[in-house]
Amino acid sequence: MSQEELFEIVQTFVRLGINKIRLTGGEPLIKKNFAEILSFLAQQNVDLNITTNGILLDQYWDELEAAKIETLNISLDSLIEEKFNKISRRSFYSRIYQNIFTAIEKGFKVKLNVVLIKEENDDEIIDFIDLTRNHDLNVRFIEFMPFDGNNWDRSKTVSEKSILETAKEEYPNRLSNLESGPNSTSHNYKIDGFKGTFGIISTVTNPFCDGCNRLRLTADGKIKNCLFSNNETDILSALRSKENIIPFIEQAVSSKKKKLAGISSFDIDEKIKNRSMTTIGG
């Protein structure tokens, strides 16, 4: 999508009642003219949020504050620099870590996204929760999910049950269950006496499909009505053909399956064909 096409599509969604937009990736901060896009979206009377790898945040503090961004979702899969560099295949740990705490100091609500993989970083669950002891942030543990190119293995998934058992063992009688909003993707918890909270996004072991109201617009102008859907609705081609894109949006919404794009079980459908997460948008 060109910038102008993106703007036109966004305005159509807003007219239809969309009231929350999240810029995600890949990495949104490397997008050409990101500041212009952010400024435009800030004028659309929507709740605007960003998911980022955190590397370039320090270049955009003024623009983020001007756009009245309140929440930043930042990805960080390990608190050990060497391990993080191996997982992320980049070496920006110190910069990302500094940007996370600068964001907190500046008053942003920070959600730390941690994809847990058994025998890779699940030994850091308590270390991540301990970050919430003195810092007002929300650590979100995300179950390992099947996408193209990520070598998904069901046995590598760290379940919600396992995470909670680890937390209860470390903090006996101090784990509180927090109320989640009607469309929340995470089950949220707090250790009594800690400033922050943690949540679990349990797509594999305990899906939240009944409350999901999300649509994803890919960079090439396709609507995915579920993270795992192979059926995509091409609205960019319709827009370029001067067609009314509203019927295409309505069709995408009405065809949304009750659960996981119709997948009966991850155990049965391990060879799910899907885009890579970087081309879908988290």
Residue 5 in any domain: the answer is no
The reply to whether the predicted model has a pTM over 0.85 is yes
Helix (H, G, I), strand (E, B) or coil at 6: helix
Kind plus residue range of the DSSP H or E element containing 114:
strand 109-116
In our burial notation (b when 16+ CB lie closer than 10 A, e otherwise), range 113-149 reads bbbbbeebbbebbeebbbbbeebebbbbbbbbbbbee
Note the pLDDT of residue 18: 95
Mean pLDDT of the chain: 90
Neighbours of 108 (CB within 10 A): 21
Contact 229, 257 (CB under 8 A): yes
Is the sign of the CA dihedral 67, 73, 79, 82 positive or negative?
negative
Residue 219 in any domain: the answer is yes
Domain count, the chain: 1
Q: What are phi and psi of 239, to 5 degrees?
A: -60, -45
Residue 10 in any domain: the answer is no
Contact 223, 229 (CB under 8 A): no
Give per-residue pLDDT as tens, 80-132. 999 999 988 889 999 999 999 999 999 999 999 999 999 999 999 999 999 99
Angle between helices 3-15 and 246-254 (to 10 degrees): 60
Residue-number span of the structural domain to which 58 is assigned: 53-62+72-275
Note the pLDDT of residue 184: 86
Residue 207 in any domain: the answer is yes
- Tokens 């740990």 map to which residue? 93
Residue 7 in any domain: the answer is no
Using CA atoms, how far apart are residues 33 and 103, in angstroms rounded to an integer? Answer: 22
Residue 118 in any domain: the answer is yes
Query: Could you tell me the pLDDT band of residue 174, with boundaries at 50, 70 and 90?
Result: very high
Residue 38 in any domain: the answer is no
Residue 16 in any domain: the answer is no
Note the pLDDT of residue 205: 81
The CATH code of the domain that includes 194 is 3.20.20.70
- Which residues sit opposite 216 in a β-bridge? 224
